[in-house]
Chain A
Amino acid sequence: MIGEIAHFLALASALGLILVLIFNAFFYSAGRHANQDILSYKLFHQSCLLIFISFGLYIYLAITDDFSISYIANHSNSQLPIFYKITSIWSAHEGSMFLWIVFLTLWSTLFINSLSFQHQLKKGTMLMLTIIILGFLLFLLITSNPFERILPFGVLEGADINPVLQDPALAIHPPLLYLGYVGFVISFSFITAYLFHGDIHYPWEKDIKNWSLIAWIFLTVGITLGSWWAYYELGWGGYWFWDPVENVALMPWLAATAFMHSLFASSKSNILKTWTLFLGILIFALSLFGAFIVRSGIIDSVHSFANDPQRGLYLLGFSGFITLISLGIFAYRLPNMQSSKLIVTGSKESFLSMNNILMLTAIFSIFLGVTYPLILEFINGDKVSIGPPYYNTIFAPLILLTSIFIMISLEALWQRGMQARTLLVAVTPTFVISSLILYFIWYFVQIFSFLAYIGIYSGLLIIISYLLKGAISLKNKTYINKGSFIAHLGLGLLFFAVSMNSILSYQKNINLFLGEQQFINNSISEFKFLDLQNIKASNHDVVSAEIFIVHDGQPIFLNPEKRKYFARGQITSETAIHASILKDTYLTIGDQLDDGSWTFSLQINYFIKWIWLSSALMVIGILMTIFKKKIS
């Protein structure tokens, strides 16, 4: 019964949104008509509310184990803790699409509510948002209905959530990522409304700046959490695999980062206006492209949901439709939009726009990497995959150039060209110090990898230039943008940590009997297999090994596990990690051989913690920027 109510509410909401559109189709005019507008805003907000209630009821259904709902029966289980019963909703296509729409609606209703009634773009934005929500709501209800019943009788027990997904980080990773993805629907719709309205002198940046920054934070945290989960749960020791689904999350992130930067320039001094508008449209278009890639099953990936051409076609069609509307209006207005001021060579914004171009290049390269296998298979039937080597080669030079521009732009001024010579003199100390540090790293490590050293050097350039700038401003008590300072330190640290990780980390495979011990290398002088225990947990069996390691003279006890889940018979490995400041000792247990010995995979991963830290720094930096804006 409650399932039907929830289904009905979702349908009613779609109807409400259709009414908003029909109503405005008859009565729309660019001017403001109090009564009609009040009515359509009310209808819009109520329709949004219905979606929230419907989702609330759906959560209730999941908690109370209503296995007559086909989706819940397939992805939940009565033995699960309540937390995972709720998160099982977004463990597969239908439910996660529902969540996606809920967030879309949430952002939309909050944003429309925040605009004053007199705001000239309120109605246009609302109409664009209505079209987008409606399109996805219909997609959900027609092609992937989460409310579908198993008729005439439901099953007694659910099939359980995939055990790999029973993890707190993964439970909150999709919601945060989705909040980020769909958060950019605001800039997308607002920019479309602004372009449609045609009043090009309206300062639109201020209305969506903080919204975009918040969406960026969600996107960043979401991506980081997914990466963190992959690191400790999958047991491969990697944190980023250049998997198509990771790539489609990285593209909007890059576009959003470029957007954020040019938004600052655009709102400050009326430059880069068309760039900013274009990027604002691009972010959401890339989010939609991501949704298409993940949900159509067109690309083989560990993340992709089940294959369904109908869904893919609908998503591609609808995403293409709204992107074309937006880009079409953009192209139509472009001739009137010439920025009032030209970019001065050697000014801060000139370097900023260089980096924007680099970020677009990065996006294009990833896009090519994602779609190239599809194109090639279509042309001559070859099945190919593109792995990390491609992305590493492409990104190394881009990162180096980006870092150099960041370093120079730190010395440059807004709207004032500076002599190349002055700038060069200003950045010389950074170049020298970074080169010295790089030499010391090489001296101590004695491993050489061209690409990794480019990455390390890039990271150093950013870190050193900001630290020098910080020290000088501290001494002279001059102004420094603290948010930008911390965020860029984070970026430098990210380049540095990722590259250091790639040259220093290594793996050893070990084969041992119970009670045996082995010498691994000079750093790991002892590896002893102490104990093996069989434990029964609520919904799985556990084989837990106890290993004693002496790592650089420090004794460490590690307990890697293998779990067998009852409901699906699936086996998962639980990695044991001992983290110190510089490196993680990362151990997974493999299989038992016929002679009774066990295999282990021991990995020493360097600078992993620093990668998470760098992401945290970037988020803190942006938070400070939002906070600062609020005060002044």
Chain B
Amino acid sequence: MLQNRKKRLQKFFIIILLSALGTSLVLFSLNSKLDLFYSPSEMLAADIKPGYRIKLGGMVEIGSIQREGTTIFFVVTDFEAKVPVSFEGVAPDLFKENSGVVALGYYSDGLFVAEQIFAKHDENYMPPELARQEPK
């Protein structure tokens, strides 16, 4: 009887240990693969290290879109701070001036180099992050 219980306890601890190990591995992998979301003013305040991938969200400033070859330059603003962004490639269809945009990429030396840009799926939809920072 006692032997039986001991075995059970052992099993129980092994299961607990394994799931703790699994969960911590998953969480570890999560933490290194997170993309933090910033608005331009938050990002400038936060002192981002080069080589640290983040998401930058805001509005495309009016008159700021410039195209050179296959590279697009534009400025993301939250009506407080501005960040110049460059993107190599074809922008999504809904990418336009004075419209919400989220850029995924790296910030260094005053330029945000975007790997990907996301524009809104439909024109009435606004990401909650952007809706919150929209001026009243």
Contact = CB atoms under 8 A, between A and B. Distances in A.
Question: A and B: real partners?
Answer: yes
Interface of A: 162, 164, 235-236, 297, 300, 302-303, 306-307, 361, 364-365, 368-369, 372, 382-387, 389-390, 393-394, 507, 509-511, 562, 568, 570-573, 588-591, 593-594, 599-601
Interface string B81-96: 0000000111111100
B33 A389 contact: yes
Contacts of B30: 368-369, 372, 386, 390
B37 A393 contact: no
B9 to A, nearest CB: 19
Given A384-B34, A390-B30, A300 B90 contact: no
Nearest to A385: B35
A592 to B, nearest CB: 9
A164 B119 CA distance: 14
B92 to A, nearest CB: 8
B8 interface: no
19 contacts: A162-B121, A164-B122, A300-B127, A306-B124, A306-B125, A307-B128, A364-B26, A372-B30, A384-B35, A390-B33, A393-B29, A394-B26, A511-B70, A572-B93, A591-B67, A593-B68, A594-B67, A599-B69, A601-B90
A372 B91 CA distance: 29
Given A300-B129, A385-B55, A509 B90 contact: yes
B24 to A, nearest CB: 12
A600 B90 contact: yes
B34, B90, B125 pick with most chain A CB within 10 angstroms: B90
B29 A509 contact: no
Contacts of B89: 507, 509, 590, 601
Interface in B57-105: 67-70, 88-94, 104
B7 to A, nearest CB: 14
A13 B65 CA distance: 55
Given A385-B55, A507-B89, A591-B67, A394 B34 contact: no
Given A164-B121, A383-B129, A511-B69, A590 B33 contact: no
Contact of A361 (B22, B67, B88, B122): B22
- The secondary-structure label for the interface of chain A is mixed
A386 B55 CA distance: 11
Nearest to A368: B26
A407 to B, nearest CB: 23
B131 to A, nearest CB: 8
B47 interface: no
Nearest to A573: B93
B109 interface: no
Interface of B: 22, 26-27, 29-30, 33-38, 55, 67-70, 88-94, 104, 118, 121-125, 127-129, 131
Contacts of B38: 383
A588 B91 CA distance: 11
Contacts of B121: 162, 164, 302-303
Given A307-B128, A386-B35, A571-B93, 10 more contacts: A306-B125, A384-B35, A387-B33, A387-B35, A509-B90, A510-B70, A570-B123, A588-B90, A593-B69, A599-B69
Contact of A385 (B37, B91, B92, B131): B37
Contacts of A511: 69-70
Nearest to A162: B122
Nearest to B42: A383
Nearest to B120: A302
Contacts of A572: 93
A589 B91 CA distance: 10
Contacts of A570: 93-94, 122-123
B128 A300 contact: yes
A302 B126 CA distance: 10
A39 to B, nearest CB: 48
Contacts of B123: 568, 570
A235, A302, A588 pick with most chain B CB within 10 angstroms: A302
B1 to A, nearest CB: 19
A385 B104 CA distance: 10
Nearest to B124: A306
Given A382-B36, A384-B35, A599-B90, A394 B29 contact: yes
Contact of B88 (A236, A509, A594): A509
B98 to A, nearest CB: 14
A61 to B, nearest CB: 23
A562 B38 CA distance: 32
Contacts of A164: 121-122
A361 B127 CA distance: 30
Contacts of A509: 70, 88-90
A594 B67 CA distance: 8
Nearest to B65: A591
Contacts of B37: 383-385
